[in-house]
Amino acid sequence: MTDTPDYKAESPAREAWRMFRRNVPALVGVVILSFIVLATLYGTFFYAGDPYNVVWAPHERPGVTPEFPLGTDYLGRDILAGMLTGGGPTLAVGAAAAAITMVIGITLGSLAGFYGGWVDNLLMRITEFFQVLPALLFAMVLVTLFSPSLWTIAIAIGVVSWPQTARLTRAEFLRIKELEYVTAARAIGARNKRIIWKVILPNAMPPLIVSATLTIGIAILFEAGLSFLGLGDPNVMSWGLMIGANRDYILDAWWPVTFPGLAIFFTVFAVSLIGDGLNDAFNPKLRER
């Protein structure tokens, strides 16, 4: 089309931010996620309770006893206390695992995309190999072999999740390295390291940021799955663990499994709303369809 933009030139980041601010679902995501993060960080100041202690009769319904608004589990432990303490580890592992995923994926993907040739070939074969391993099963094996702790869980999730990030990074590098400004940087004699870090990577960031956001969601689901199976850190309360611990009694009491599940759902839901919002903000053209 021949139309010329009639707004004044904006930096891409500013324009993305402007688009993001107008995206209602993404803002809803921000609000939900902020609430959850604040509740897990500071909730215990307002509601002090020990999630491990048996404090009441088992299977007290929610809303019956004012002291335990969400009721108690099969042992008589306070569910709200569990919800408030159990979010921290889940979020921490999710964030750490996403960071590990991004570091591995971006490093391997950028090397493959930038150097091409045998480096690309080798790294892509390794990536394909890791994509053959069913991620959750492989993570389960890693966690059991190396004894579960928050760190081993985060590392295991990172080790099984990076291939997609690597492929995405590689594709971006392949695209960007042919662009004029990269040729220009080469022409003025910039070193490879500089071109990778200072020239190509910043321009590859938008899709990588979106992917990082979505990776956090996936990592949270992974952590929840592992904890549910009883493969999480046994010393740490988490939402997945609460569901796993109560699952033999679901037909007697729905609430001990429902509330932690909702918490996981809303966290991942919020994260993916934000991810979609970022995606739209970085690709405004796609939205006009």
Partner 1 sequence: MNSSYILRRVGYGLVLMLGVVVLNFLLIRLAPGDPAMVIAGEMGGATEEMLESIREEYGLNKPLVVQLGIYVGNVLQGNLGESFFFNQPVASLIAQRIGPTILLVITAQILSILIGVFLGVIAARKPNGVMSGFVSVFATIGYAVPVFWTGIMLIILFASVFPIFPVEGMQSVRLRGADVFTKTLDIAHHLILPAFTLAIIYLAQYARLSRASMLEVLGSDYIRTARAKGAAEKTVLFKHALRNAALPILTVAGLQFGNLISGALLVETVFNWPGMGRLAFDSILRRDYPTIMGVLFFASAMVVVANILTDISYRWADPRLRGKS
Partner 2 sequence: MTALLDITDLKVTFNTRYGQVTALDGVSLHVNAGETLGVVGESGCGKSITALATMGLIPMPPGRIAGGSIRLAGEELVGASPARMRAMRGADIAMIFQEPMTSLNPVFTVGDQIAEAIMLHQKVSADRAFKDAVALLDRVGIPSPADRARDYPHQLSGGMRQRVMIAMAVSCRPKVLIADEPTTALDVTVQAQIFDLLNEIQRDFGAAIVLITHDMGAISEMADRVAVMYAGRIIEEATADDVLDFPQHPYARGLIDCIPALGREEHALKEIPGVVPPLHLLGAGCAFAERCEHANDRCRQEKPLLVNHDHHPAACHAVEEGRI
Chain residues binding partner 1 by CB under 8 A are 128-129, 131-138, 140-142, 144-147, 217, 221, 224-225, 228-231, 240, 243, 247, 250-251, 254, 257-258, 261, 264-266, 268-269, 271-273, 276, 289
Q: What's the CA gap between 69 and 175, in Å, rounded?
A: 54
Residue 288, SS3? helix
Write out the two tokens for 281: 């903000």
Does residue 4 bind partner 2 (CB under 8 A)?
yes
**Residues 93, 90: Cα–Cα separation, whole Å:** 5
According to DSSP, the residues that pair with 77 across neighbouring strands are 54
Distance CA 238, CA 233 (A): 9
Quick one: which of 2, 11, 147, 235 contacts partner 2 (CB under 8 A)? 2
Judged by beta carbon, residue 3 or residue 178, the one nearer partner 2 is: 3
Which of 178, 180, 248, 288 is the binder for partner 2 (CB under 8 A)?
A: 288
Binding segment for partner 2 among 1-9, 68-76, 160-168, 226-234 (CB under 8 A)? Answer: 1-9
Residue 9 binds: one of partner 1, partner 2, none (C-beta under 5 to 8 A by kind): none
For residue 111, give the 3-state DSSP assignment: helix
Cα 232 from Cα 202, distance rounded (Å): 36
Sign of CA pseudo-dihedral 217, 154, 102, 142: negative
Residues 74-113 that bind partner 2 (CB under 8 A): none
CB closer to partner 2 out of 4 and 11: 4
Residue 288 Cβ vs partner 2, minimum distance, rounded to whole Å:
7
Q: Which does 229 bind (CB under 5 to 8 A by kind): partner 1, partner 2, none?
A: partner 1
Q: Do 215 and 55 contact (CB within 8 A), yes or no?
A: no
Residue 171: partners with Cβ closer than 8 Å, 6 or more residues away: 113
Tell me how far, at minimum, the Cβ of 21 lies from partner 2, in Å. 18
3 contact choice in partner 1, partner 2, none (CB below 5 to 8 Å, kind-dependent): partner 2
Q: Which does 258 bind (CB under 5 to 8 A by kind): partner 1, partner 2, none?
A: partner 1
Q: Which stretch binds partner 2 (CB under 8 A): 2-10, 14-22, 72-80, 246-254?
A: 2-10
Closest separation in Å from C-beta 210 to partner 1: 14
State the amino acid at position 135 in one-letter form: A
HSE (CB half, 13 Å, CA atoms) of 8?
0
* C-alpha to C-alpha distances, 268 to 18, 53, 71, 265, 282, nearest whole angstrom: 24, 28, 24, 5, 21
What x/- string results for residues 129 through 168 when contact with partner 2 is judged by CB under 8 A? Answer: ----------------------------------------
Residue 54 forms beta bridges with which residues? 77
CA distance 11 to 40: 36
Binding positions for partner 2, rule: CB under 8 A: 1-4, 288
